[in-house]
Amino acid sequence: ILHYPDKWYFSFCSHFCCSLIIFQNITGHEYPEFVKIVEVGPRDGLQNEKEIVPTGVKIQLIDMLSGTGLSVIEATSFVSSKWVPQMADHTDVLRGIQRAPHVRYPVLTPNLQGFQDAVAAGATEVAVFGSASETFSKKNINCSIDESMLRFEEVINTAKERQIPVRGYVSCALGCPHEGDIKPSTVAKVAKRLYEMGCYEISLADTIGVGTPGSMLKMLQGVKKEVPINALAVHCHDTYGQALPNILTALQMGVCVVDSAVAGLGGCPYAQGSSGNVSTEDVLYMLHGMGIETGVNLPKVIEAGYFICNALCRNTNSKVAQAKSRTL
């Protein structure tokens, strides 16, 4: 049984009936005082990079990110290396990283086999991926949404027995490359399913980055009817440059967990050559500029970004990192 380090906070807090999420007012809009950043670069980012990154480099990247103040770093993915060769070294990565205290390292586990491998390798938190689009689900993981939920149920039930927290993702929350627009009610349904199965947090992903503040607002309005807002996160892609305004809208709606990838790693497989994940540096710049705390040290994240971009022989996608490196 894995002893969860934060349990004492849980019992301590249960004695106080006060707001967990403290909001601050910036002229007419309420924003959370604190936003948790979930760093997905080492997994979601690298997974979409063409260059296979050596294990040592992945470990070093994660170690650098561990020293920046980030509290959640998605380390790797226990999928079959046939499908995702980039993540073939999942066990070595998980065993090789130096786990910083107060930092969590969730890993992706698409099925029970993956979950068991993850636990054997030392995983203390896992994540499962659902889709709001049937077509995307079929093309991506070769089964319908309902079938995938059954698979995840196995994982979540097993995880519950071992007291391993599970995070849920809903992809294509704002649009699908095959189906086009996705109804907020569909996203809400999938999110609710994952939440009721036992995921502590649901990350709503704009997989192809087509969302705008308008569609983000509608989607969140739909989802928060079914899932409490403080259990929601947004995972915005910057393919159309809309990520930051979408994140801003989510913050205005009360969301206080944001997924991002250092250096904006990871392209978009549906718009080749385009950008994918929003850059952690750019998100931090915006949040800190608004006086929202994150606990993350931006210069250190920029450094980690430069490191991985050098290793990948590519330019950073982060505008903040680009500007900082060139400022007169």
Partner 1 sequence: MAAVMRLVNRSTLSSVMGQHYAAFSSSAKLTAAGVNAGHTLPDKVKIVEVGPRDGLQNEKTIVPTEAKINLIDMLSESGLPVIEATSFVSPKWVPQMADQVEVMKGISRKPGVSYPVLTPNLKGFQAAVKAGAAEVAIFGAASELFSKKNINCSVDESLQRFDEVMKAAKEAGVPVRGYVSCVVGCPYEGKVAPEKVAHVAKRLYSMGCYEISLGDTIGVGTPGSITAMLEAVSKEVPVSALAVHCHDTYGQALANILVALQMGISVIDSSVAGLGGCPYAQGASGNVATEDVVYMLHGLGIQTGVDLSKLMDAGAFICRTLNRKTSSKVAQATCKLKIICGLQFRPINTTFVFGTCETSLKDNNCIRWGWKVKNVSPWLQMKNWSRQSATATPAEMHTVTQPLSATSPNKTAQHNRTNTSLFTVATVKGRKRIRTEEAWKR
Q: Which is nearer to partner 1, 9 or 147 (CB)?
A: 9
Amino acid 10 reads F
Amino acid 30 reads E
Contacts of 289 (CB under 8 A, 6+ apart): none
Least distance to partner 1, CB of residue 325, Å: 8
Q: Which is nearer to partner 1, 18 or 82 (CB)?
A: 18
Q: Which is nearer to partner 1, 96 or 254 (CB)?
A: 254
Least distance to partner 1, CB of residue 119, Å: 14
Do 62 and 73 meet the contact criterion of CB atoms below 8 Å apart? Answer: yes
Least distance to partner 1, CB of residue 31, Å: 8
In angstroms, the Cα distances linking 201 to 73, 127, 230, 273, 328 are 15, 10, 8, 31, 42
Report the C-alpha gap between 204 and 169 in whole angstroms.
6
Residue ranges in 166-296 assigned as alpha helix (H):
184-197, 213-223, 243-252, 280-289
Contacts of 248 (CB under 8 A, 6+ apart): 213, 286
268 catalytic per annotation: yes
Least distance to partner 1, CB of residue 123, Å: 13
In DSSP terms, 37 is beta-bridged to 258
How is residue 99 written in tokens? 């786990």
Contacts of 90 (CB under 8 A, 6+ apart): 76, 77, 78, 107, 117, 118, 121
In 11-24, which positions are buried (b, 16+ CB within 10 angstroms) versus exposed (e)? eeeeeeeeeeeeee
Least distance to partner 1, CB of residue 98, Å: 19
* H/E segment holding residue 205: strand 201-206
Q: Which is nearer to partner 1, 110 or 276 (CB)?
A: 276
Q: Which is nearer to partner 1, 79 or 220 (CB)?
A: 220
C-alpha 40: how far from chain center: 5
Contacts of 250 (CB under 8 A, 6+ apart): 216, 220, 234, 236, 258
Q: Which is nearer to partner 1, 10 or 82 (CB)?
A: 10
Catalytic: which of 172, 256, 268, 309?
A: 268
Least distance to partner 1, CB of residue 201, Å: 6
Write out the catalytic residue numbers.
268
